[in-house]
Structure 1
Amino acid sequence: MLKQHFKEIAKLNSSEQVWQMPFFAALGVGIVLGFSVFFGKLNYGLIAMIGALSFLYVPNTPLYHRMAVVMCCSFGIVSSFFLGILTHFLPAIFAFIPIGLVAMGSSVLIRYYNIGAPGYFFFVFSCVLGAYSPFEAKDFIFLVGLVFLGAMVANLMALLYSIVVIYGFKNALPSEIPPREYIGFDAIFVDSLIMGSFVAFSIFLGTFLELERSYWIAISCTAIMQGVTLNSIWIKQIQRIIGTALGVCFAWWLLSKQFHDIELVLLIMFLFFIGQFLVNRNYALAMIFFTPYATYLSEAANFMSENADTLILTRLIDVVMGSILGLLGGFVIYKPYLRVYFERIAKYIFRIKQKA
């Protein structure tokens, strides 16, 4: 059994993803950061990168459909960031409520409209970063604008990527739009309620324990709970912990170095390209590169002003806690005798739909 699990953890999976996908994703990140370096505001570029992540939702469908999907997901990511920003007007202990609602709501929409990977992850990611960005209230609208600009770049990259792979290389020809089928009340609403509840609890736990950068607990919990089966959730948890452990060592080494702005832009582009190239092949390997990338992104507000040792140790502890919570959440999703309580709550909340 252990040998089989080890094989699954170390396995390098095949992927239908073409190399142009991570290339244009990294190019979009580079454009956003390049403009910010030109104006001498690299930290603003790191904020705008949140919106640029919407490129990752481009599906392999006809051009008009994929652009519509990316635009809708861009709006969702910007809105999630805005809702996260609004939590600054609430007592810190209550921040888990809107973040949990964003997690549940985005999961419902992703499942209802059958949008594939990366699922609801980046909606929660943008909301959490908005909630924990230590900016002043007078800057909030400006920050939302930065994320919106990043989303605009993502849409441009999605258009260029689609033209290149469809009409240029012709190595990712569009498939038919899959029919949208109602997959059932349990899969859409009950699962989403469980996910939202565990994400909210992870935020509450981190705040209650007064942990440094506790948002990584919620981010890790969100990533782990997207597994298709309980076994895949277990494998993904182990891969995330192993990958993050190696990734924090890599991040610690990078943070100990001094980079010129343009060098940092190229470094972040490289990390994002390699991480995105590997994410469907082996999650642990991808996390080695995503960890320093995400560290730079999450530290945009107080740009690298923290001690690297403290930053990395805190990150590792939070990721382990979040991965364990994500595993528990996955256990609840796939065990009928545990999810029955959430079914009752979901049927009460959506009782109007149930009657229909």
Structure 2
Amino acid sequence: MKLLAEMLTMAPANKDHQVALRCAVGVFVPLITLVLLGRLDLAIFASFGAFAGIYGRNEPHGRRLVLQLRAGTLMLAVILLGALTARAGAAFSLSAAGTVWLQVLATTLVAGGCSLVVAWWRLRPAGSLFHIFAFAAIASIPHQPPLWQGMLTAVVTVAFALLVGLSSRVVRGRRQPWSWPLPVRLSSPERRAARLEAVGYLVAAGLAGSLATLAGERLGFGHNYWAMVAAVVPLVGHTTRHRISRGLQRIIGTALGLVLLALILVLEPAPWQTVLVIAACQFGAEMFIARQYMLAQVFVTPLALVSTLLVAPAPAGILLRDRFLETVIGAAVGVAVVLAPAVWRRLRSRPALPPR
């Protein structure tokens, strides 16, 4: 009952509409510009570059700038690695299956490495979920645009997100004094926790990616990185119950979000309308992501899939099926990784049976 109550609880608002508006503008302007230029092949680079605006939600402007600059730099590195990984399969003449397993391995390393960097820089949201998504999505694009064009798009989008983050200093009549973050120093327990968390991300992402790939080969579905993204969702939380709740909310919210996505796809929106949908979903996701995770997933699901369809069109039915199955696999793996230490400790503490 406590778990159910937690899943249905709405936390109080904390200027969420301001954050949501900044994030929506940060993704809308770059994407609509690419639509007008006829360069939708670069849209995915803009979409992930805009993720820099998610960080430093309610921080003072100076601290927000530093945090978003760090987040943007890390995201640009991830985007570059994803684009290079996409080219590695062809460069080494790997088979289709070999390319997929290379992507799983590389995404697993990104999951653990970025988790460590995010903890070291004290970025919020914590974890490497966005980096897993960005890296794997870009690495899996079969037809890559020129590397310099993709990276230029991402850099310009990150710079725009930083400007949007500072925009309220111009819009508001009164300005708060600049305040800068203190030097990042992790205590010894924090460093140990960060390393253990990175291991958790490695295990969850790697196991989910492997299971999803094997299941996909047998059952005929793809997008294994969606399972890897879902697997790390339960790793964020202060208690085991909260982490399990996040995994369940991910599944339920995804199912509801797929219903919303199906309604959107029935309308067959034009590219400029699709960009409006992305901006609206980004607004909805940021409005609720810190207050009610399940409700936020109702917006996150169409946001992620519509962004994918904008760059790489695919049959809607297959996309909906893959998203749900991969989410179930990933969330189940994530919950198992969360429960594994407690189960192991319980087994070790059991008294040995007396000999007969």
TM-score range for the pair, normalised by the shorter chain length: 0.7 to 0.9
Q: Using the alignment, how far apart are the partners of 1:59 and 1:263 within structure 2?
A: 27
How far does the alpha carbon of each residue in 1:59-96 deviate from its partner, in whole angstroms, 9 at most, with x for none?
Answer: 54443332122112111111112222232314322322
Structure 2 residue corresponding to 1:82, chosen from 62, 80, 83: 80
Identity %: 22
TM-score when scaled to structure 2? 0.84
* Corresponding position of 1:13: 11
- Listed one character per residue, the Cα deviations across residues 234-275 of structure 1 (whole Å, up to 9, x for unaligned) are 111111111111111111111121223332222221111011
Paired residues for 1:337-356 under 5 Å? 337=345
Matches within 5 A, 1:325-340: 325-332=333-340, 337=345
Determine helix, strand or coil for the equivalent of 2:237: coil
CA distances 1:134-153 after superposition (whole Å, capped 9, x unpaired): 224x6344323322222122
Matched, 1:272 2:272: no
Give the AA of the match of 1:250: L
Q: Unpaired segments of 5 or more residues in structure 1? A: 341-356
Question: What is the CA distance between 1:16 and its match in structure 2?
Answer: 2.3
Structure 1 residues 82 and 270 mapped into 2: Cα distance closer, same or farther (>3 Å)? same
8 A contact 2:116–2:198 mirrored in 1 = yes
Name the counterpart of 2:229: 219
User: Quick check: 2:19–2:57 contact (8 Å CA) kept in 1?
Assistant: no
Alignment-derived partner of residue 267 in structure 2: 257
2:204 alignment partner, one of 192, 195, 198:
198
Q: Within 2, Cα distance between the matches of 1:162 and 1:118?
A: 26
Aligned residue in 1 for 2:161? 154
- Structure label with greater radius of gyration: 2
AA in 2 matched with 1:6:
L
**Number of the residue aligned with 1:187:** 193
The number of equivalent residue pairs is 332
Q: Quote the residue 2:141 is aligned against.
A: 133
Question: 1:344 corresponds to which residue?
Answer: none
Q: TM-score, normalised by structure 1?
A: 0.84
The whole-number CA distance in structure 2 between the counterparts of 1:334 and 1:71 is 37
The whole-number CA distance in structure 1 between the counterparts of 2:53 and 2:71 is 9
**SS, match of residue 181 in structure 1:** coil
Change (3 A) 1:206 1:167: farther
In structure 2, what residue type is equivalent to 1:232? Answer: H
- 1:67 maps to what in 2? 65
> What letter is aligned with 1:226?
V
Instruction: Determine if contact 1:78/1:147 at 8 Å carries over to the other structure.
Output: yes
- On the 8 A contact 1:57/1:117 being kept in 2, the answer is yes
Q: Secondary structure at the match of 1:116?
A: coil
In structure 1, the residue matched to 2:240 is 230
Question: Cα RMSD between the aligned structures?
Answer: 2.7
Measured in 2, the distance between the counterparts of 1:223 and 1:163 equals 36
Question: Which residue of 55, 58, 66 maps to 1:57?
Answer: 55
Q: Specify the SS of the correspondent of 1:187.
A: helix
Give the match for residue 305 of structure 2.
295
Deviation digits for residues 163-196 of structure 1 (CA, Å, limit 9, x no counterpart): 546946x7x9979759743244430112211212
Alpha carbons of structure 1 residues 4 and 12: separation in structure 2 relative to 1, 3 Å: same
- Name which of 290, 293, 298 aligns with 1:283: 293
Contact 1:56 1:118 in 2 (8 A): no
**Counterpart residue identity of residue 284, structure 2:** I
* Distance (whole Å) between structure 1 residues aligned to residue 179 and residue 8 of structure 2: 31
Counterparts of 1:152 and 1:123, CA distance in 2? 18
Q: Quick one: structure 1 residues 23 and 184, their matched pair in 2 at CA, closer, same or farther if it must change by over 3 Å?
A: closer
Structure 2's unaligned 5+ residue stretches are 90-97, 349-356
